Structure 1
Amino acid sequence: MTSPHIALFALAIGAIIGAGLVLLVGWAYRARAQAAEETSQAVPAGTIDVLASMDDAACVLDASGLVLAVSQAATRFGIEAGAVLENAELRQLVRSVRQSGGSATETLRISRGGVRLDPRLVSARASAMGARLTLLIIRDVTERERLDQMRNDFVANTSHELKTPVGAVTLLAEAIESAADDPEQVRRFAARIQAEAGRLGQLTGRIMSLSRLQSSDGLSGLRPVSLDEVIASSLEAHAVQADSAAVELVRGGDRGTWVLGDAQILIEAVGNLLANAIAYSPQGSRVGVGVRVEGEVVEIAVTDQGIGIAEADRERIFERFYRADEARSRRTGGTGLGLSIVKHAAQRHGGEVRLWSRPGRGSTFTVRLPRIEAPSADGTGKKKKKKRAKKDATRTRNGENA
Structure 2
Amino acid sequence: MRKRYSLAYNLAIFILAQIVWLALLGLWIYWYVSNYLIFEKVGEKVSPQIVIDTPNVFPFVGGIVLLVGLSFSMVLIFRHLNVQIRLTRLYDNFIANITHELKSPLSSLQLYLETLNSRNVPPEKQKEFLEQMIKDTTRLQKLISTILEISALESRKNKAQFEVYDCCEIISLLLNESVEQFRLKTDAIDFNCENEANISIDVNAFKMVIDNLIDNSIKYSTGDLKISVSVKTFLNKVEIQFTDNGIGIIPKEQKNIFQKFYRIYDSDIPNVKGTGLGLYWVKEIIRNHKGKISVKSEGKGKGTTFIIELPTAKKTKNKK
* TM-score of the alignment, normalized to the shorter chain, above 0.5: yes
Match of 1:316 in 2: 256
Partner SS, residue 229 of structure 2: strand
CA drift at 1:66: 4.8
Structure 2 portions without partners, runs of 5+: 1-14, 32-59
| Counterparts of 1:67 and 1:225, CA distance in 2 | 70
User: What RMSD, in angstroms, separates the aligned Cα atoms of the two structures?
Assistant: 3.8
1:381 corresponds to: none
Other-structure match for 2:245: 305
Residue pair 2:179, 2:186 contacting (<8 A) in 1 also: no
- Residues 3-402 of structure 1: pairs in structure 2 closer than 5 A: 56-57=16-17, 58-59=19-20, 60-61=23-24, 66=29, 82-83=62-63, 85-86=66-67, 112=72, 119-121=78-80, 154=94, 157-217=97-157, 219-240=159-180, 244=184, 248-325=188-265, 334-357=274-297, 358-375=299-316
Structure 1 spans left out of the alignment, 5+ residues: 1-54, 69-79, 91-109, 122-140, 379-402
1:221-265 CA deviation, whole Å, 9 max, x = no partner? 433233234312321222246655686211102343222231111
Q: Give TM-score, length-normalised by structure 1.
A: 0.56
1:348 Cα shift? Answer: 0.9
1:14-43: CA deviation from partner (whole Å, max 9, x where unpaired): xxxxxxxxxxxxxxxxxxxxxxxxxxxxxx
- Gap change, CA 1:160 and 1:354, over 3 Å in 2: same
Partner secondary structure for residue 128 of structure 2: helix
Equivalent residue for 2:4? none
Amino acid at match of 1:346: I
Once the two structures are superposed, residues 249-308 of structure 1 have per-residue CA deviations (whole angstroms, 9 ceiling, x without a partner) of 111023432222311111210221122223433544521111111221111111011211
Distance in 2 separating the partners of 1:326 and 1:338: 17
Shift of 1:204: 1.5
- CA distance, structure 2, for counterparts of residue 257 and residue 313 of structure 1: 33
Higher strand share: 1
Q: Does the 8 Å CA contact 1:247/1:282 hold for their aligned counterparts?
A: no
Q: Which has the higher helix share?
A: 2
Whether the 8 Å CA contact 2:292–2:308 is kept in 1: the answer is yes
Q: Is the 8 A contact 1:61 1:67 kept in 2?
A: no
Identity %: 27
Matching residue's letter, 1:112: F
Contact persistence 2:295–2:304 (CA under 8 A): yes
**Alpha-carbon offset, residue 177 of structure 1:** 2.0
Mapped to 1, the partners of 2:302 and 2:143 lie a distance apart of: 30
- Does the aligned pair in 1 maintain the 2:90–2:262 contact within 8 Å? no
Alignment partner of 2:165: what SS?
Answer: strand
SS at match of 1:112: helix
Residues 160 and 283 of structure 1: CA distance in aligned 2, closer, same or farther (over 3 Å): closer
Letter in 1 for 2:201: G
Which of the pair has the greater relative contact order for Cα pairs under 8 Å at 6+ separation? 2
Larger Rg: 1
Does the C-alpha gap of structure 1 residues 355 and 333 become closer, same or farther in structure 2, counting only changes over 3 Å? same
1: CA distance between counterparts of 2:180 and 2:268?
Answer: 19
TM-score by length of structure 2 reads: 0.69
Shift of 1:367: 1.0
For the residues of structure 1 that align with 2:275 and 2:25, how far apart are their CA atoms?
A: 57
Structure 1 contact 230–266 (Cα < 8 Å) conserved: no
Distance 1:120 1:332 in 2: 32
Contact 2:101 2:273 in 1 (8 A): no
Distance 1:312 1:295 in 2: 32
